[in-house]
Amino acid sequence: MAEEILISQPTTEALSTLEQHFPGAAQPAEYEGIVIAPGHLGKVASFLRDQLGYDYLSLVTGVDYPEATAQFPARFETTYHLFRSKGGGPLVLHVHANRDDPVVPSVVGVWPGASVHERETWDLMGIRFEGHPDLRRILLWEGYEGHPLRKDWHEVYYEEEKKPFSSRHPEGRPVQAEERAPLGCNLRYPPDWSPDSWEPQAEMRVYAPMDEHVGDNGRSMPTDQVVINFGPQHPSTHGVLRMVARLDGETIQQLEPVLGYLHRCHEKIGERNTWLANMPFTDRLDYVCSMSNNFGYAVAVEKLMGVEVPERAEYIRVIMAELTRIMNHFVSIGFFTNDIGVYLTFMLYALEERELIIDLFEMASGSRMMCNYFRFGGVARDLPEGWLSVAKELVYERIPRRVEEFEKLCLENEVFRARTIGVSALPADVAVAYGCTGPLLRACGVPYDVRRAEPYSIYDEFDWDVAVGHNGDIYDRFKVRLEEMRQSLRILRQALERLPDGPIQSKKVQATAKVPAGEAYGRVEAPKGELGFYVVSDGTANPYRYRIRTPSFANLGVLGKISRGHLVADVVAILASIDITLGEVDR
């Protein structure tokens, strides 16, 4: 497998191959990747998947260029990040669309996982994907006015294009956002709009894909199919997720997640922030494991900045990331058992371990949950005195015993096995096509782990194995999680033993430091799957485009598929086995 990982320059190779097969379809992009002519995208996509092995589409996103650049005119650009599920670096495709009526062909037919990303791009950027089977808004609601991530769209509390705002420096009086807004709050309506002659459509469109099937089920005994609604206030949806499902009796016929109830406009805010100021915002993405989010963002921006990370900082980063993984898996198992009916017992056990691990985070970073610990080129603070002995105690003594205990309690438990074995089995090829990552994918037997597939930081220096399952059912997902905890402990033991002395930051990066123009996609293996940050810089102190590929969001795309044919009671189990955090799904 090592030979395949070494394919580090796929772009030039792919460009020449594409030039042979599709003359005139491809040209090199401004910074990275290949620009494909929109008319050829469908054929090129199938060719890349079938002939060159790019079977895993990680991310589809849009970038708005209202001004012409040196090479290209004003445009909307969709960007595709492709990977091989055997490992290796990305192949980046760009497709341009004109600014007045941006239309790009959809690639859902080639990579079904593109569906959620394309819906999001349509929602926030307003790029229409021709051929997408269900192009509705995904984070905002049907009927919302405007596409917020366009550069010429300003929110109600808009102050200035970029932070730091001049009114705050050096002696300006800060003005409350409410004072500036015309209505005195964060609301705005189109000029010709009146509430009297208007029909709300947001709710109706949620049920639209279900409606055509409701009615007779086609069997001899006529029964009706009904549409039900879970959430967003539901104790088992792990936050504010909503699902609508069409049922035949108690069996799920169709299920659609309805997202966006925690859409906090992360990306719009991120594009106004300075580069470093986004670091604390990444904490709030997957709020269970903030350290991994920091890691992803740091890796992405360091690619652009070209900063070296000192060795001690790398070790500290890995230690923190692996502790986070253990903590997340504990919490994940705790919540799962809560959902299948054990109620609080497991959760209390799991949260006990979480408390001990976040104590370590608090010692190092000063905060329990929102650590904001990583910096470009290192970490914020050195480990305090006594940290190592507490960590070693946990890693060598307590956590291994707890993992054993959890394994016995879960995997050998009659009820646990009955609820999980064979439920929602996901075939490996489907999982890859839908862009699933993390334990969900590895449970299907695909040994894809970003730490191994495209090693970042110093993961290639450690001795560890990728945890893999076989059947892709819920049981295997948890088996993989438990095994991953063991492997994390293995990495931790090596890292804690070898932790070198030295500086923790190569050089102090200023809060308003400028980042060289370019684009980068930095990805890490977060506990829930591949967490990627796609950042575009125009050479200033603020990101030009800041897009987060979160594992929860991508993994939810397959929820409808793996729930079909199962009972309503299994849906909460399936959802909990995917392991989502709503802060990350909706951003």
Partner 1 sequence: MVEEDNTLMTTENSSLPQVPPELQDNVRLMPWDKLYNWSRKRSMWPLFTGLACCAIEFIAAAASRFDMGRYGMDIARASPRQADLFIISGTMTKKMAPQVVRLYNQMAEPKYVIALGACAISGGPFKDGYNVISGVDKFLPVDVYVPGCPPRPEALYNAILTLHAKITNEPISSLRWYQKDGEDEGIPVPVLGPDMVDWRLMYKVPPLERSK
Using CB under 8 A, list all residues that contact partner 1.
Answer: 139-141, 143-145, 148, 155-159, 177-178, 182-183, 185-195, 198, 200, 202-203, 232-235, 239-240, 260-266, 268-269, 272, 280-281, 284, 287-288, 347-348, 351-352, 354-355, 368-370, 582-583
Biggest CA–CA distance in the chain, Å, is 78
Identify which of residues 269 and 567 has a Cβ nearer to partner 1 in the complex.
269
- Which residue type is seen at 274? T
Q: What is the dihedral of CA 187, 191, 192, 193, to 10 degrees?
A: 0
Is the CB of 170 or the CB of 195 nearer to partner 1? 195
Nearer residue to partner 1 within complex by CB, 77 or 123:
123
Q: Identify which of 319, 320, 314 has the alpha carbon closest to the alpha carbon of residue 289.
A: 320
For residue 246, CA distances in Å to 49, 225, 249, 257, 566 come to: 33, 7, 10, 12, 12
Provide the residue count of the chain. 587
- Closer by beta carbon to partner 1, 258 or else 489: 258
| Shortest Å, Cβ 159 to partner 1 | 8
Shortest Cβ 233–partner 1 spacing (Å): 6
Output the smallest distance, CB 266 to partner 1, in A: 8
Q: Is residue 182 packed enough to be buried (19+ CB in 10 Å), middle (13-18) or exposed (0-12)?
A: exposed
Please, what is the minimum distance in Å from the beta carbon of residue 324 to partner 1? 13
HEC readout, 3-32: HHHCCCCHHHHHHHHHHHHCCCCEEECCCC
Cα 160 to the center of its chain, rounded Å: 28
CA distance 557 to 564: 13
Smallest gap from residue 326 Cβ to partner 1 (A): 16
Shortest Å distance, C-beta 393 to partner 1: 17
In the complex, least distance from residue 468 CB atom to partner 1, rounded to whole angstroms:
30
**In whole angstroms, how close is the CB of 127 to partner 1 at the nearest point?**
18
CB nearer partner 1, residue 140 or residue 299: 140
In angstroms, the CA 340 to CA 409 distance is 14
Q: Which is nearer to partner 1, 348 or 415 (CB)?
A: 348
- Comparison of 267 and 483: residue with beta carbon closer to partner 1: 267
Dist. CA 322–CA 319, nearest whole Å:
5
Q: Which is nearer to partner 1, 178 or 460 (CB)?
A: 178
Residue type, 535: V
Shortest approach of partner 1 to residue 222 CB, angstroms? 34
Distance CA 82, CA 433 (A): 11
Among residues 343 and 421, whose Cβ is nearest to partner 1? Answer: 343
DSSP calls for 349-387: HHHHHHHHHHHHHHHHHS-SS----EETTEESSPPPTTH
Among 319, 398, 324, which Cα is nearest to 357's? 324
